[in-house]
Structure 1
Amino acid sequence: MSEGLARVLWERYEPVHDLVYFAPEARRAADGLGLRGFWTGYFALRAAPLGPVAAPVVTSSFYVFHADRVARALPDAWRYATPEAVLAAREEAMDAAMTRVLGADTVSSPKVAEAAELAWAAAAAADTAGRVLGAANQALPAPRLPHVRLWQALTTLREHRGDGHVAALVTSGLGPVAAMVLKAAAGESDAALLREGRKWDRATWQATEEELRARGLLDPAGALTAGGTALREAVEARTDAAAHQPWQAIGEDGALRLAALLEPLARRVLGSRLIPAGNPVGLTGQLWRSGGDVPA
């Protein structure tokens, strides 16, 4: 099985997973629990599988956020809602968001049920040793509704991949800010959005740019050098390789079938324009660039 298949699948499941960040149903669910403000809801909804953890655990596992950004949300969020309540609200929000964005006929279709079965099998087989977010999501019970079960399986696979990506960054000597500077330099996201959203001050950002220039990874104008491009490609290749293992559980035919089933769902999400331009996700493939409008 080609390791490139892990990237093909990521490009198709990431937009579906991202509904939890950008769909208004997710924000309403967080508000309904008393989790006021986007970031409080974001951290609670994403961290709930870990239990009522303190800010340092989330700062470490999410990797790119300044500690102050996390500390403004956690552990205060758990005074308003338990992780169990947040997880229940998250499922309800994804049910509502997927039904609205994908359509009631789609979410109740045999194809979505098939996709859920394939994705759940891959997620259940994922090796989560050393992968905190992947393991926490994998341990959750299967949602009753097939489309919500699909979302949870894709979320487990997404966090499993993210854990592997963090490991690749650490072994490459790229800290949180360095990783974001190189991501922006590669044209995968907007630098200001990354810096401000993750609450890093301009001085730290600029100091990191200077460090990367000294390492020969950025040129004087802030663009990637050949060395910077090579390092970025090596990190992405290691991330893809580390994300390969779960797909072996369903085989190449199963993985290709899942990719085909997910593609129209990803197109629908991207076509909804819920996910903003310059977002931090970093997908740059044809499906993402076209906003989902890719000929079948």
Structure 2
Amino acid sequence: MVDTTARDMWERFEPVHDLVYFAPEARRAADALGLRGYWMGYFALRAAPLGPVAPCVVTSSFYVFHPGRVARALPDAWKYAAPAEVLAARGEAMDAAMTRLFGSRAARSAELAEAADLAWEAASAADTTGRVLAAANQALERPGRATARLWQAVTTLREHRGDGHVAVLVSLGIGPLEAMVLKAAAGESDGPFLRETRKWEPTDWTAAEDALRERGFLAADGSLTRAGVAGRALVERRTDEAAGRPWRALGAERTARLAGLLEPLARAVGESGLLPPGNPVGVTLRESAGR
């Protein structure tokens, strides 16, 4: 029997993490720091745990962005706000976003505090060897407020899974553009949205499609072939396997408890309309929230 725990948990914590990209509180926090535009805010808020690193480090670890997209935001962002200031601001923003979205009573409830502590324990158990973004987030100080603690814990878990996903892609010779083409062909995201927001040229996208056709993964009409479906499934299976350690450490009973506590939070995000259609997240929010 295939163990789906890692994927099931991802479907529940990913929506909570995604508030940092789509909640208006995150954009207001970035603007208040003097960061210029959405993308400077995006890269600064996500990369801040790494410190004031060069854009090549962020391009490498984020994987799917054109280097020029990153270089337009970094290192200029650090002229406006130091990483420590950005980290403080994102914690405040996530507390505000979760309080608004989930309600002040739920945000200050014993259940949310329990979820935060369970998620923090799972995140602390994550093996961050070779996982740069996960390691940087795991090393951050434990927040006192349960909302900020929960958000930071699920962010560590999310980046842990993402780092593992990138390692799988690299091991299978699937580059950034090819990974996005496969994602779009599988119906998980909108291809033009991915290409445009990650700032790749149409010719780059076409070249990636051609490479996947040569590999036998993509049909002439852009759909996945049988080999493409199998290759995509292999990537996802290995990603799930690489993300399993936190849940084994937490144990089946407490993992199930955390899943139940995250369920209404994921549902609230899914029903809020904050995530745009065709977004690059990949998780099917409506289905996961209804389980």
Fold agreement, TM-score > 0.5 = yes
Tell me whether 1:174 sits opposite 2:171 in the alignment.
no
Map 1:263-278 onto structure 2 (within 5 A): 263-278=263-278
Report the alpha carbon displacement of residue 79 of structure 1 after superposing the two structures with TM: 0.4
Secondary structure at 1:238 match in 2: helix
In structure 2, do the counterparts of structure 1 residues 163 and 74 end up closer, same or farther at CA, with 3 Å as the change threshold? Answer: same
* Structure 1 contact 48–84 (Cα < 8 Å) conserved: yes
Q: How many residues matched?
A: 291
Is the 2:11–2:288 Cα contact (8 Å) retained in structure 1? no
Cross-structure match for 1:113: 113
Per the alignment, in what secondary structure is the counterpart of residue 282 of structure 2? coil
**Residue identity (%):** 67
Structure 2 residue identity aligned to 1:283: V
Match of 1:188 in 2: 188
TM-aligned CA distance change 1:128 to 1:290, over 3 Å: closer
Alignment match, 1:42: 42
- Residue 14 of structure 2 aligns to a residue whose secondary structure is helix
Partner of 2:55: 55
Q: Which amino acid aligns with 2:114?
A: E
Partner of 2:91: 91
Q: Distance in 1 between matches of 2:117 and 2:249?
A: 12
Aligned counterparts of 2:2 and 2:110: Cα–Cα separation in 1: 28
Q: Within 2, Cα distance between the matches of 1:59 and 1:125?
A: 27
Deviation of 1:289 after TM superposition, in Å, equals 3.4
Q: Does 1:151 align with 2:151?
A: yes
- The residue type paired with residue 289 of structure 1 is R
Change (3 A) 1:290 1:239: closer
Q: Which amino acid aligns with 1:33?
A: L
SS of the residue 1:173 aligns to: coil
Q: In the alignment, is the contact (CA less than 8 A) between 2:12 and 2:288 conserved in 1?
A: no
Question: What residue in structure 2 maps to residue 289 of structure 1?
Answer: 286
Cα gap change, 1:5 to 1:248, in 2 (>3 Å): same
- Consecutive unaligned residues of structure 2, counting only runs of 5 or more, are none
Q: Is the 8 A contact 1:3 1:244 kept in 2?
A: no
Distance 2:2 2:184 in 1: 28
- Alignment of 1:9 onto 2:6: no
Unpaired segments of 5 or more residues in structure 1? Answer: none
Deviations, residues 44-63 of structure 1 (Å, cap 9, x unaligned): 00000000001000000000
Secondary structure at the residue paired with 2:199?
A: coil
Find the counterpart in structure 1 of residue 252 from structure 2. Answer: 252
Shift of 1:83: 0.1
User: Map of 1:228-243 to 2, 5 A cutoff?
Assistant: 228-243=228-243
Structure 1 counterpart of 2:83, one-letter code: P
Given the two structures, how large is their TM-score scaled by the length of structure 1? 0.96
- Aligned equivalents of 1:111 and 1:263: distance in 2? 12
Does the C-alpha gap of structure 1 residues 90 and 21 become closer, same or farther in structure 2, counting only changes over 3 Å?
same
Residue identity in the other structure for 1:122: A
2:65 counterpart residue number: 65
- CA–CA distance in structure 2, aligned partners of residues 213 and 261 of structure 1: 43
Aligned partners of 1:189 and 1:281 also within 8 Å: yes
Counterparts of 1:176 and 1:262 in 2: how far apart (Å)?
30
What amino acid is the match of 1:249? A
Partner of 1:82: 82
CA RMSD, Structure 1 to Structure 2 (Å): 1.2
Maintained 8 Å contact 1:52/1:78: yes
For residue 154 of structure 2, give the secondary structure of its aligned residue in structure 1: helix
> Is this contact kept in 2: 1:270–1:291, CA < 8 A?
no
Corresponding residue for 1:103?
A: 103
In structure 2, the CA distance between the partners of 1:277 and 1:212, relative to structure 1 (3 Å rule), is same
How do residues 19-38 of structure 1 correspond to structure 2 at under 5 angstroms? 19-38=19-38
Who is 2:226 aligned against? Answer: 226
Q: CA deviation at 1:172?
A: 1.1
